[in-house]
Amino acid sequence: MDLADCRELLGHAEWADSVLWRAVVALGEEDPELRAKLHHLHLVQWSYLHIWREDPVRPRELASFQRLSAIRGWGREYYRELTAYLAGLQPSALAREVRFPWADRLVQKFGAAQPASWAESVIQVAMHSSYHRGQVARRIRERGGESPLSDFIAWIWQGRPGADWGGEDAA
């Protein structure tokens, strides 16, 4: 896996998040389960970005967001900052060991926490985000909405489009 592959995975993630958010906005109302899942999805993305930049990880609590639209804005801001971060990244970053602030908890639970490279952590972010997008898609269907196709292969088939978050006033 090279730097271009990592950028592609994260580019797909932004497109997929934007597709998902458009479906959430189309529901037209607040939903506690959607709020919690979308907050968690973006919280993990933000946490990894802070870890990659070697910034302190300061989680934003769900209660700090009054509406879904605020979480959506926070997700969009993550991708703006991620794009700037990726622009300055060198191929040598791929093998750089990433230290996670929660590693001690993993040692307590599993007996060990092996090091992970930056590239491996990118895969984790992509997979974790995909998992939670699936949960959100399920909730959209339960609420009578149409869940979007946000698979990586769908993104490829469509020519790797950029993210379309909808209008600034959406959500």
Residue 134 confidence (pLDDT) above 50: yes
pLDDT at 111 over 60: yes
pLDDT at 76 over 70: yes
**Six token digits for residue 152:** 């990586």
**98, β-bridge pairs:** 116
Q: What percent of the chain has pLDDT over 70?
A: 97
Find, among 134, 124, 119, 141, the residue nearest to 16 by Cα. 134
What is the rounded average pLDDT for all residues in the chain?
92
Reported as a single tens digit per residue, the pLDDT across 29-72 is 889 999 999 999 999 999 999 999 999 998 899 999 999 999 99
- The mean per-residue pLDDT over the stretch 14-38 comes to 95
pLDDT at 169 over 60: no
The pLDDT of residue 168: 57
Question: Per DSSP, which regions of 27-144 are E strands?
Answer: 97-98, 116-117
The model's pTM: 0.91
At 5 the three-state DSSP class reads: helix
Work out the average pLDDT over 65-89: 95
Q: Can you give the pLDDT at residue 171?
A: 46
Candidate CATH numbers 3.40.220.10, 1.20.120.450, 2.40.240.20, 3.40.50.720; the one for domain 3-157:
1.20.120.450
Rounded CA separation 19/147 (Å): 9
